[in-house]
Amino acid sequence: MKRIENIGVFTSGGDSPGMNAAIRAVVRTGIWEGFDMYGIYRGYEGMIDGQIEPLYSHSVSNIIQRGGTILKTARSKRFMTPEGRQQAFGNLEKHKINALVAIGGNGTFTGAAEFTKEYEIPFIGLPGTIDNDLYGTDYTIGFDTAINNVIEAADKIRDTATSHDRLFFIQVMGRDSGYIALWSGVACGAEFILVPETKTYIDNLTRLVKHDIRKNKTSGIVIVAEGDDAGNAESIAAQVKERMPELETRVTILGHIQRGGSPSAWDRMLASILGYASIKALKEGQQGVMVGLINKQIVYTPFEEAIKNRKGIILDLLEMSRVLAL
Ligand code: F6P
């Protein structure tokens, strides 16, 4: 294995709060260990286009508290082609970058797995996505901030829902994963939580809404994960309304508000721990792995394994949420 000289760091896929804290940790630990650090802008896109610049300790000052990513991010179709990857490797060689740290999600690690099959380069991944759907870590960087963003909005909606005796359908992010819906739903006391992992039966939902009304509930919140099989929040609200025309319903789609804002203390902490661990992993000779935290221990999961497996939600929490909201 070649001696590591320069390390490139980049963010890729959907941004998540805490990515900056991770960049800071990677860069400063790298410098501490004696490496020259480079920032690659706009993820794999910037690697292909040669958007690469040196990063110093001061380059990452004053960013731990900022959402988004100073390195920008993108989803790259070109990196999925051998030509794109070859061009990217050429640009790394120009800067003598012979090790990489990527902060991103499933798509990022899929690209990394392909790249490391073709080119011999130590490559470490850090889990950065609000979805918390990555296998090999209990939490991903950004999830905690995202669910706090959701409950802040849901608490406000609760005020107006109660005043008007309305049933609100709040759509949250999570194309393929109900993590955000489930955790924010429990934390805001939602009456119903609809996730892609379980089938949603509108008749069943309507029956439960009627049951709540009989129990003297006059308002409520339904958290809908955007990937729910019964449709989006608009469509589910319409289907319930069709069965209960007397019900006053409203729909709020939270959208990208969930992904922004200053990272929570936990996301900053997690990002710092994993960013520091990524450089230690490179020094130990690790390659082609995602660094995660499971039961408070650093765990390395090979990219192939991280991509192949899905971290499922704890379905018991769904039942619990219903009991607690009754
Ligand atoms: O993967 C993170 C995520 O925020 C998902 O929850 C969501 O479905 C998707 O990204 C949205 O992507 P975009 O920002 O490209 O609209």
pLDDT in tens, 265-301: 999 999 999 999 999 999 999 999 999 999 999 999 9
| Rg of the chain on CA atoms, in Å | 22
Q: Is any atom of ligand 1 closer than 6 Å to the C-beta of 259?
A: yes
Distance CA 170, CA 192 (A): 10
314 belongs to a structural domain: no
Hey, which of 19, 42, 259 would you mutate to test ligand 1's pocket, going by the most ligand atoms within 8 Å of its Cβ?
259
243/159 same-domain check = yes
Residue 192's CATH number: 3.40.50.460
Distance CA 247, CA 132 (A): 34
81 belongs to a structural domain: yes
| Tally of CB atoms within 10 A around 81 | 13
> DSSP strand E in 163-248: where?
167-172, 192-194, 220-225
17/107 same-domain check = yes
Atom of ligand 1 nearest to the CA of 180: 6
Nearest to 31 by CA among 268, 276, 273, 269: 276
Q: Which domain holds residue 194?
A: 144-259
pTM: 0.97
Q: Would you please indicate which residues are annotated as catalytic (active-site) residues?
A: 131
Over residues 166-223, the pLDDT tens digits come to 999 999 999 899 999 999 999 999 999 999 999 999 999 999 999 999 999 999 999 9
**Inter-residue contact 310 to 135 (CB < 8 Å):** yes
116/199 same-domain check = no
Distance 57 CA to ligand 1 centre (A): 31
194/73 same-domain check = no
Distance 144 CA to ligand 1 centre (A): 16
Taking CA atoms only, the protein residue closest to ligand 1 atom 10 is 14
236/150 same-domain check = yes
Distance CA 258, CA 180 (A): 10
181/130 same-domain check = no
Q: Is any atom of ligand 1 closer than 6 Å to the C-beta of 173?
A: yes
34/18 same-domain check = yes
**Inter-residue contact 142 to 262 (CB < 8 Å):** no
23/126 same-domain check = yes
Distance CA 164, CA 73 (A): 41
Size of the chain in residues: 326
Torsional sign, CA 200, 201, 203, 208? negative
Taking CA atoms only, the protein residue closest to ligand 1 atom 13 is 14
Residue 299's CATH number: 3.40.50.450
**Inter-residue contact 104 to 15 (CB < 8 Å):** no
Taking CA atoms only, the protein residue closest to ligand 1 atom 2 is 14
Taking CA atoms only, the protein residue closest to ligand 1 atom 8 is 175
| Tally of CB atoms within 10 A around 314 | 10
Q: Please identify, among 234, 259, 284, the residue that sits at the C-terminal boundary of a domain.
A: 259
Distance CA 312, CA 309 (A): 9
Over residues 32-67, the pLDDT tens digits come to 999 999 999 999 999 999 999 999 999 999 999 999
154/214 same-domain check = yes
Q: Is any atom of ligand 1 closer than 6 Å to the C-beta of 14?
A: yes
127 belongs to a structural domain: yes
When pLDDT is cut at 50, 70 and 90, the band that residue 326 belongs to is confident
Atom of ligand 1 nearest to the CA of 174: 6
- Of the chain, the end-to-end C-alpha distance in Å amounts to 60
Total domains in the chain come to 2
243/198 same-domain check = yes
* Partner residues linked to 97 by β-bridges: 6
276 belongs to a structural domain: yes
Taking CA atoms only, the protein residue closest to ligand 1 atom 6 is 174
Burial of 92: CB neighbours in 10 Å, binned 0-12, 13-18, 19+: buried
